């Protein structure tokens, strides 16, 4: 093969791309479209204006990063609820096991990925912050 041919082939591809839609996203001016099954920030699902979570402790048990803290409480009708539910996002590896483990489908992962923050404490997501926003 003529040594120049590969170079010309390469330049062809480059040339073709000059006329295609650019891949680079002008973030933050442009927002990405997050895939449906993307594993971003967790959310606690709400039903009848209460968190669905029954504080079964399965997600903290399965979590490989050990970053979920649950404390159960007993409500007025003697049912179990999560008096405390916290995820330490600095340790989370976004594996999604917690969602898979939940027996009552109380947890999901959202498309939210902008989790940067200034202080370490702000990475601890409490129950209030995790409650699903409708």
Partner 1 sequence: MVNLTIDDKQVTAPKNATIYEAAKANGIKIPILCHDKKLKPFGACRMCLVEVEQMKGRQIPACTTPATEGMIIRTSTPEIVKARKMVLELLLLNHPIDCPVCDKGGDCDLQNLTYEYKVDANRFVDEKFHLDIDYANPLIERDMNRCVLCGKCARICDEIVSFGAYTFINRGIETKMGCEFDEALNCEFCGSCVSVCPVGSLLARPFKFKARWWALTKQKSVCSYCGTGCNLTLGVKDNKVLTTVYDENQGFHNGQLCCRGRFGYQFINSDKRLTAPLVRKNGVLVETGWDEALEIVVGRLKGGIAVAALATPRMTNEELVLFKRLMETVGSPNYDHSAGYAHAALTKGFARSFGTSASPSTILDIQKSDLLLVIKTDAYETHPVVGFEINLAVKNRGVKLNLLSDKRGKLSKLPGAKTLVHTPGSEIAVINAIAKSILDAKLADGSAVAVPGYADLEQALAGFTPEAVAAQSGLSAAQIKELAADYAQAEKALIIFPIGLAYAGHDSEFASAVANLAILTGKLGREGCGVLCMAEKNNSQGAVDMGFYAPLGGMDAGRIIDGCASGAVKTLFIAGENPAVSYPDHARVQAALYKVECLIVSDLFLTETAAQADVVLPACSFAEKEGTFTSVDRRVQYFKPAIRKIGQSRSDFEIFAALIARLGGQAPASPAAAFAEITAATPAYTGMSYASLGEQGAFAAVTVKPALIAPQAPAPAGAPGKLALVVGSALYHNGTMSQHGEGPMYVCPEGYVELSRGDAARLGIADNDLLTVASATGSVKLKAKVSLRMPEGVLFTPYHFGATPVNQVWSGAAVTWVTLDK
Least Cβ distance, residue 23 to ligand SF4 (angstroms): 28
Tell me if 130 sits within 8 A of 87, measured CB to CB: yes
Establish if 98 lies at the interface with ligand SF4 (CB under 6 A).
yes
**Site size for ligand SF4 (CB under 6 A):** 27
Least Cβ distance, residue 44 to ligand SF4 (angstroms): 7
Residue with smaller CB distance to partner 1, 52 or 129 = 52
Task: Give CA separation, 41 vs 8, 63, 93, 109, in Å.
Answer: 46, 15, 11, 6
Task: Give the three-class secondary structure for 22.
Answer: coil
Establish if 131 lies at the interface with ligand SF4 (CB under 6 A).
no
Which positions lie near ligand SF4, rule CB under 6 A?
Answer: 53-59, 63-65, 67-68, 70, 82, 87, 92-98, 101-102, 104, 106-107
């Amino acid at each position: 093969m003529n040594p120049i041919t590969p170079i010309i082939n390469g330049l062809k591809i480059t040339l073709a791309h000059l006329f295609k839609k650019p891949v680079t996203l002008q973030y933050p001016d442009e927002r990405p479209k997050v895939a449906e099954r993307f594993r971003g920030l967790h959310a606690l699902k709400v039903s009848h204006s209460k968190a669905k979570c029954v504080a079964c402790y399965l997600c903290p048990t399965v979590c490989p990063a050990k970053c979920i803290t649950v404390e159960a409480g007993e409500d007025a009708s003697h049912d179990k609820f999560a008096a405390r539910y916290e995820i330490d996002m600095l340790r989370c590896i976004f594996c999604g096991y917690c969602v898979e483990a939940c027996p009552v489908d109380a947890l999901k992962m959202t498309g939210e990925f902008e989790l940067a923050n200034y202080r370490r404490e702000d990475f601890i997501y409490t129950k209030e912050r995790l409650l699903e926003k409708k």
